[in-house]
Structure 1
Amino acid sequence: MRLQNRTILITAAGQGIGRASAIACAREGARVIATDVNAGTIGTLGAEVPGIETAVLDVRDDGQVRALAARLPALDGLFNCAGFVHHGTVMEISDADWDFSVDLNVTSMFRMIRAFLPGMLDRARETGDASILNMASMASSIKGFPNRCVYGTTKAAVIGLTKSVAADFVKQGLRCNALCPGTVDTPSLRGRIAQAADPVAAEKDFIARQPMGRLATVEDITPLVVFLLSAESRFVTGQASLVDGGVTI
């Protein structure tokens, strides 16, 4: 069991990559705290998979974040998965769109790391390793994509935050990495496709930009999540790890 005796918290665990990661980590022996802003989406997780506990958490609410950190044991792993994909150029972003995306995609990770880091450093002193994983994207400082202005900006900031935390705490046994997926077939993606003027064409466009000729599945992503949250990656920190099907070759 690759995550035996490790306590891992995952945000946005109600669906998509977050949910699949919670299940994958639990199956590898972790005690998983699966959180989401929507109680309905995480309500059945604990009953479905042994080792998963659930908690409602709005990562945009600093009071909620601090309260959860105060009542939970120190974490061995934290996966900041919550985020939002805004569609549009710089000319199509309202101030409200910008503020929401920055708050959810970047500031929420800052809140989570700040609240849980002291306990994680304690665990790192005890075990020699603790790991933070932040959800970034290939659409970031790695590569620009049309109509992803605020999304790409925020995900570039996530990579910067990741490297900063990694550099500050590398000598204390705390690692921090960023996960940079390609286009993944999730409920979020399906929602964006459905909202397109021509959903059939939109799906074909998403597939066409993947050199492997298909969308990623969540099962394509979770092995790297498990690896980066486990002691197997104990010599890996400050990295933006791509799982993009060859888009950025």
Structure 2
Amino acid sequence: MSGDRREFDGIAAVVTGGASGIGLATATLLADRGARVACLDVRPEGLPEPLLGLAADVTDDAGVRAAVAAAADALGGIDVLVNNAGIGAQGTVEANSDEEWHRVLDVNVVGMARVTRAALPHLRASAHAAVVNTCSIAASAGLPQRALYSASKGAVQALTLAMAADHVREGIRVTCVNPGTVDTPWVRRLLDAADDPAGELAALQARQPTGRLVSADEVAAAIAYLASPRAGATTGTVLAVDGGMHGLRLPPAPPPT
């Protein structure tokens, strides 16, 4: 058995939005490395073994509390919480209605608070407690047509740091990952709806210095690092997984010859 396979032995993890995309990649990786994993999702059906699927809508406090309690009961506690559930939004500050602002902030920000507060009693009982939030490069980079989404992710990054400060002396580490544009089903649906899907994909690839989209598996690997008992000195950390977007300023690529 490899070192990686033993890394999460004895660890119980809950992943929200765990039925697809980054959440599913993360849940699968944690399970492959020995964790017992419950995936909370509005549609948890069809998850591969040994993942446990539990229905939960992060905007429903009673439902969240019930699902977290069921996960803790089934897993024998909770050591790791991955707050990954989220939704997107497009447009400038003029584009979204009040109802959409409330909906996105309710899912992306308040939803994280609901799940975390339900999990805190279990995390306090763990010797290896960690919370990892899925944030975004949009928290720190001004992206066009992403006003509402960026506002929600900016709040997630600030919430992460505040939670890290609040709970560090309880032995609970809190961090977040800031992915760039990730090749997920949601992004593919956006591309399919664009007037020029190929052109839009090329633009998304070009704005990341690596020249490609980030993979869900790459984000999952970063989350696993932050969640690992081996990262015991890491808290209040914002880890970019964005193809260099946050810090690199490259000259324009030379024209093809």
TM-score range (shorter-chain normalised) is over 0.9
What are the equivalent positions in structure 2 for 1:76-225 lying under 5 Å apart?
Answer: 76-123=79-126, 127=127, 129-140=128-139, 142-225=140-223
The one-letter code of the counterpart of 2:103 is F
2:40 to 35, 39, 59: 35
| Cα distance in structure 1, aligned partners of 2:13 and 2:69 | 15
SS in 2 for 1:221: helix
CA deviation after TM superposition for structure 1 residue 49, in Å:
3.4
TM-score (norm 1): 0.93
The one-letter code of the counterpart of 1:49 is E
Count of matched residue pairs: 238
| Cα distance in structure 2, aligned partners of 1:231 and 1:172 | 15
CA deviation after TM superposition for structure 1 residue 71, in Å:
3.1
| Cα distance in structure 2, aligned partners of 1:239 and 1:233 | 11
The one-letter code of the counterpart of 1:66 is R
Q: RMSD of aligned C-alpha atoms?
A: 1.1
Conservation of the 8 A alpha-carbon contact between 1:32 and 1:53? yes
Partner of 2:25: 20
| Cα distance in structure 2, aligned partners of 1:224 and 1:69 | 24
Unaligned runs of 5+ in 1: none
* Cα displacement string for residues 16-64 of structure 1 (whole angstroms, at most 9, x for unaligned residues): 10011110000000000012101xxx3222xx333x1111111111110
* Cα displacement string for residues 47-88 of structure 1 (whole angstroms, at most 9, x for unaligned residues): x333x1111111111110111233332310000111111010
Comparing 181-190 with 60-69, greater Cα deviation is found at 60-69
Percent of aligned positions that are identical: 37
Unaligned runs of 5+ in 2: 1-5, 248-257
* Cα displacement string for residues 183-221 of structure 1 (whole angstroms, at most 9, x for unaligned residues): 110001001111112212111111111111111111211
2:14 to 9, 13, 23: 9
The one-letter code of the counterpart of 1:31 is R
1:49 aligns with 2:52: no
* Cα displacement string for residues 143-162 of structure 1 (whole angstroms, at most 9, x for unaligned residues): 11011101111101001111
Conservation of the 8 A alpha-carbon contact between 1:93 and 1:150? yes
The one-letter code of the counterpart of 1:132 is V
* Cα displacement string for residues 121-153 of structure 1 (whole angstroms, at most 9, x for unaligned residues): 111xxx2x200011110101x211011101111
CA deviation after TM superposition for structure 1 residue 8, in Å:
0.3
Partner of 2:71: 72
- CA 14–71 in structure 1, closer or farther in 2 if over 3 Å, else same: closer
| Cα distance in structure 2, aligned partners of 1:219 and 1:67 | 29
The one-letter code of the counterpart of 2:166 is D
Partner of 2:239: 241
| Cα distance in structure 1, aligned partners of 2:136 and 2:237 | 12
Conservation of the 8 A alpha-carbon contact between 1:23 and 1:49? no
SS in 2 for 1:60: coil
SS in 2 for 1:100: helix
